[in-house]
Each structure stands twice: as C-alpha cells, then as structure tokens.
Structure 1
Amino acid sequence: MDRMDSLHNVEKWDPKTNRRLWSANHEEIIKGGTTDIYFVRTQEILNHMNYGDTEVTVEIFPSRPGIMAGTEEALGLMADAHNLEIWALPEGETFDKKEVIMRIKGPYQEIGIYETPLLGILASSAGWAEAARECREIVGEDKQLVCFGARHLHPAVAPVMERAALVGGFDGCSCILGAKLKDQKPMGTVPHAVFLIVGDTVRVAEAYHQAMPGEAPRIILVDTFKDEAEEALRVARSLDDDLAGVRLDTPSERGGVTPGLVREVRARLNQEGFDHVKILASGGMNPDKISRLIDEGVDAFGVGSYIARSKANDMTMDIKEVNGKPIAKRGRIPGIVNSEKLLKMK
C-alpha cells in the first residue's frame, strides 16, 4: 500500500470490499487510509505551489478538561516521520480546556496526513480515560475497578479503550489484548452462560475451584438462579476460605444491584463468618450507581458501558508557526503557547 500523500495514490488504492472485517489495519492507518481526503488535496495544492516541505509548528488542544491518554499510540502513528520534533503530555497527566497537550514541528507534508487519525486517537483515548478517572475519584484508592467495556465497542478499538481505562486509573480489564498491551493479565471470572448450561451455581463454583489455576481468585456469580444472598451463602459454605468473592450482576428486570441488596448480602455473609468474602458489583455501573453502593459493602466494581460509551474529548490542531514566524487563524493568538508540562518525545 502506498502512502496516501497524493490524489493519484488515493485513486489507485483498492482495499478490496470482500475483506472479512471492515476495520482499518495498522498499515492502512499509518499510510493514511483513514485520513480525510481534504488533507490530501491540501498536499496536492502545496506541492503544486512548491510549498510542500514548508516547516510548520502545530499545536493540539482539547475541548474540555481531562486526562491524557493515547500519547504512546500517537507517537507510534508518526514513528516513520523522521523529520518531526514532538512534545506531548505523558499519559495520565491532567489538562485544562484548550491547554496544549501536543506540539509537532516539521515539514507540513509529514504532518498533514496524520491529522485525522492523530486527533481521533487522542480524542477517544482521552474520553475513555476521563470516564475511568471519574470512577476512580469516587471509589478512592482502596477499591478495585475492572473494565468490562469490550463488548460495547467495535473489536478493532476495544483494546484501545480498555488500555485507556487503565491509564485513567482502573486496576485491570477483561479484554485480553487490552490488558497485554499494558503488560497486565486480563481480569475476569466466568459469565452466566456456564451456570445456565450446568444448572447449579454451587456445582460451577466447585468446578471453577478445581479447574482454575491457583492464582486465579475464586469470585463467583450468585444471581443466576436463586436469591443472591441465598446463593452467596451456598457458595461460601462450599468453598469456605477458598472463596475470594461473589459477584452481583442482577439484571434490570429484577431491579439491578441495589444498596439494599448489597447490604443484605454483606450482612448475611458476615453473620456466618464469611467476612473475608469480597463483593464485586457489575451491570450498568456508572459514577452515580457506584456512589450509592460504595458505602454498603461493595469492594470492587466492574464497569463497562460507562467507559465504552463515554464522549470523546474533541481535539483541535492549529498551525501556530510557519517557517518560524507566529501565525494563527482569526480568533486564535499567533505563536506557540508556552507549556512547562510538555515533554520532548521525539
């Protein structure tokens, strides 16, 4: 595949419409296959006027306050552009509305083709990380947060989302690739499917204990067949000290996971001496639900759709210098913005 730096290359590119998956692969993204066509037209005009290699300095800023994520992927996107200098906020750093989060200096022909995917990487990643940070700020540092969001997004970007949740402060994620891209082990037990197939929660719990490796925590779903408190006690009596926790994932048709339900499960476990058993809550968790459950005894939360469906933090890229001279479109102040938080990345 040729780089999408000319209308000729765009015209001759045939990505094949009979491909198995519609998502762009790494080569297609890096070579400009997901770039907006108007950036290619811009390059054609600049080349025609002998301005193609004009040196520019561009700055990227967000539409609202948030947390930086996507820095490493952005650098990977531009790794083949050897004439660029790049400054950026490190992942996990907070920023304000319209604060400069990345600055790039070099020939425009090495920058323009990346604007579309670069802004998309930063906007989506920052939005997901921001949602994760909201949850972390509510639970504090002593409660566990696990991202279960992969099922709510196209699989091509699911690992990017779950990695961003880790940057935002989550302890783990269930998506295999998302976890491994952060050098972590994927976290999660089993879905309702195994209980429905076997027909009994305790039998599954016992098989889980026998079949899973020793380091895997024994956390068992207890909302499939019977009252959650009843099932929690049945499982606890069976596994005793080996039971690490129970997961409440009560569906909305039954009222979801409520403070009263958590309170009862916690009390009944404690009354029978199972105070070591943790409670994990999942199923439509969001900051509001988390805040109502956290004081009732929930030790960990599985959060999915709230992270996956969070609004992107829209990013803007502006040219601020041309050949070292300050410039800007109307409404913006010419010249680069001083920012001590930016680090030299390349």
Structure 2
Amino acid sequence: MADKELMNLEDVSNFKVDNGRDLFSATHEEIEIGATTDIYFIRTREILKKLELEDTSVVAEVFTGSAGVLAGIDEALNLLKKKDVKVWALEEGTEVDKKEVVMRIEGSYNDFGIFETAILGTLASSSGWATAAKECKEAAGDIPMLCFGARHLHPAVAPVMERAAIIGGADGASCILGAKLAGRKPSGTVPHALILTIGDTLKVAQAYDEIMPDDAARIILVDTFQDEAVESLRLAEALEEKLDGIRLDTASERGGVTTGLVKEVRARLDQAGFGYVNIFVSGGLTPERIIDLKELGVNGFGVGSYISGAEAMNMTMDLKEINGQPIAKRGRIPGKTDNPKLKRVL
C-alpha cells in the first residue's frame, strides 16, 4: 500500500493491495491518498504536468441533482483541509433545492481534483440518507423515529448512514458508532435472537429488567413466539409499570405490522388497565405507513431500509472559472453561481 498521495500512473501501478485483508472497504488512509478516485483524475494529473499546466487556478462548484437535506459536508471538508484551497459551503442539515450550489472550491485543480470522486460520493450518499430520514421524521411528527438501517449496509458505511439519518431528523440510531459520531447514545433493546435462545419472551423481559441499567427503556419484542396481543398482556401483567413498551416487528411472512394488529394490541392493553404501555413499531416502514400507524396511537418508530436504501442525491462538480475567466461546458452557465447561503469554511 502506498503511504503518499497517488500523483501519477506509476504510483497507481506501484499501489499494492494486500490479498490477505479481512475487509474490502477502503481505509481512511486509502481514501486520503486518492485510491478510491476514478483513474481518469490520475491521467488528468499526468497530462497537466506534461503540458506545464498543473498550477492552473480554477473555481469548481458542486451542485445537487435534486432537492433534499444536505449531509456529508464535514467529511468532504476534511479531505480538503490539507490542500491549498479556499472553500465555501453550506452547513450540514441545510435544505437544498435542485441544482443548488452546495460547495465552491478555489485553487489548483491538479491539487484537489483527485478528491472529486470521494467528495461527490460522500455528499450524494449522505444527502440521500438524510433526505429519507427527513421524510420519515416529518411523517412521525412529535413521535420518536429511530434509524435501524445499519444491517442493510456494509459495516464500513453503516455509521455514515446513521449519522446522516440523525442530521436529517432521526431522533436516534441503533449503530453504536453511527450514534456516537452524531453525539447521541445508541438506541435499542434486544433482538429476536436473544428471545429465541432463551426460549421465552417473558424470561427475556425479566432478565432485561434485572440486568440492564435503570435508564435503559424496558421495550420488549412481542412477535417471536405467541400472538402479539397475548404476549403484550403477559409482559404487562408481570412487569406492570416497569414495562415502558412493547415492540411490534411482525415478519412479512405473517403480513407484517398491520393497522388491525396495532388497533387490537392497543385496545387489549387499554382494556386491561395498561394504557401506559407504549407501542413501538418497526419493519418495512415508509412515511406513508408511519402516517397511518401514527393515527392509531403508536408511540415510536424504527425505520431501516427506507433510509438505508434511499436513492443518492446526485452531485456534480463543474469548473466555472479558469485563471479568473468564466467558463462552463455546453448547457451550463459560465462563471460563479450566486448563492448567498454559501459561507467561507476553509
């Protein structure tokens, strides 16, 4: 592996990958030396140097392909902070319009162009996840909405996704690193695996109550072995007011969490005097389903694949000035794009 930034095709040729590596995701160092860039940016460096144009001063702008919530700015800036560039950008969490300029970079393209791939990918993915989280949070309103999407992504990027979800509006995240990167405590109780291993939901609930710290919410899955309403009542009768809530995560093979199921569980708990027991729902949630279930008195939502599988917000980097002269490819307007929301950050 190279220990310096890739400057030319010879560096690329000499860059070796350890065939014994356990994970195939890029390390921080590999990203920072340009190993995740597209090869044509290395070819660009070769040509600019050969033509003695490597110090050409440019202005580059990054703009969006759709409206949504901007995320990933902080990581993009971290890639540029060691470069001799000036950067203007919007803040993380800013709501942006289609075609809006979110970042402007001034400097030598030969210096920062190698990071175009990484910057665009970082902004595109993070903004897509943040936008999906915003849609879910808007549907949930004042009701807590947590991101449970880490299991749907490669572990190298799952924390990035969950951090972006919190930027977009999620109230918390289950991934330990993702939550901590966003300054939050990880959220979640126990998986079906524990209940299946112990063999009884009530035993799990009692063990959880006995072993877990007082600030850990007593919210227990009730769809593993028995009818959800029956299991909910069984837990409530045993734990009484120590039970904060139950979680419905009924498998898709059994129809998932339906409005009818939520109505029945809520009614049976209320009729038995357990109106204080909250209902938390997860599994295949979308903004539309959240709105429907919210009307039935659901007290919290765990969203996974809708956020983790969100379409990236396409980002494009264009050169808008060369040596102080306005320029652009056909179809684009030459010169800097006016956006008063941009602030100097580097």
TM-score by length of 2: 0.98
State the Cα distance separating 1:269 from its structure 2 match: 1.1
Equivalent AA in structure 1 for residue 107 of structure 2: G
CA distance in 1, matches of 2:180, 2:49: 42
Query: Which position in structure 1 is the counterpart of 2:345?
Result: 345
1:113-128 alignment, distance < 5 Å: 113-128=114-129
CA distance in 2, matches of 1:58, 1:318: 5
Query: Which position in structure 2 is the counterpart of 1:264?
Result: 264
Aligned with 1:17 (options 19, 25, 45): 19
Equivalent AA in structure 2 for residue 342 of structure 1: L
CA distance in 2, matches of 1:88, 1:238: 55
Identity across aligned pairs (percent)?
58
CA distance in 2, matches of 1:51, 1:172: 48
Superposed CA offset, 1:27-63 (max 9, x none):
0001100000000101110111111011111000111
Query: Which position in structure 1 is the counterpart of 2:169?
Result: 169
Question: CA RMSD for the aligned pairs?
Answer: 0.9
CA distance in 2, matches of 1:227, 1:340: 57
1:136 paired to 2:137? yes
Checking the alignment, whether the CA contact within 8 Å between 2:221 and 2:247 is kept in structure 1 is yes
CA distance in 1, matches of 2:265, 2:338: 54
Query: Which position in structure 2 is the counterpart of 1:86?
Result: 87
1:205 paired to 2:205? yes
CA distance in 2, matches of 1:343, 1:273: 56
Checking the alignment, whether the CA contact within 8 Å between 1:2 and 1:9 is kept in structure 2 is no
Superposed CA offset, 1:9-36 (max 9, x none):
1111112222111110000001100000
SS across alignment from 2:295 = helix
CA distance in 1, matches of 2:4, 2:305: 37
- In structure 2, list runs of 5 or more residues that go unmatched: none
Query: Which position in structure 1 is the counterpart of 2:223?
Result: 223
Query: Which position in structure 1 is the counterpart of 2:34?
Result: 32
Checking the alignment, whether the CA contact within 8 Å between 1:159 and 1:175 is kept in structure 2 is yes
Checking the alignment, whether the CA contact within 8 Å between 1:30 and 1:78 is kept in structure 2 is no
Superposed CA offset, 1:144-186 (max 9, x none):
1111111100111000000000000001000011011111111
SS across alignment from 2:183 = coil
TM-score by length of 1: 0.98
State the Cα distance separating 1:79 from its structure 2 match: 2.1
1:273 paired to 2:273? yes
State the Cα distance separating 1:122 from its structure 2 match: 0.3
The answer to which of 281-290 and 326-335 deviates more is 281-290
Query: Which position in structure 1 is the counterpart of 2:148?
Result: 148
Query: Which position in structure 2 is the counterpart of 1:42?
Result: 44
State the Cα distance separating 1:264 from its structure 2 match: 1.0
Query: Which position in structure 1 is the counterpart of 2:56?
Result: 54
CA distance in 1, matches of 2:107, 2:269: 63
Checking the alignment, whether the CA contact within 8 Å between 2:280 and 2:301 is kept in structure 1 is yes
Aligned residue-pair number: 344
Query: Which position in structure 2 is the counterpart of 1:106?
Result: 107
- In structure 1, list runs of 5 or more residues that go unmatched: none
CA distance in 1, matches of 2:75, 2:125: 12
Checking the alignment, whether the CA contact within 8 Å between 1:66 and 1:130 is kept in structure 2 is yes
Query: Which position in structure 1 is the counterpart of 2:76?
Result: 74
Checking the alignment, whether the CA contact within 8 Å between 2:139 and 2:288 is kept in structure 1 is no
Superposed CA offset, 1:233-263 (max 9, x none):
1111111111111000000111110111111
Moved over 2 A (4+): none
Checking the alignment, whether the CA contact within 8 Å between 1:147 and 1:170 is kept in structure 2 is yes
CA distance in 2, matches of 1:135, 1:249: 17
State the Cα distance separating 1:7 from its structure 2 match: 1.1
Query: Which position in structure 2 is the counterpart of 1:324?
Result: 324
Equivalent AA in structure 2 for residue 76 of structure 1: N
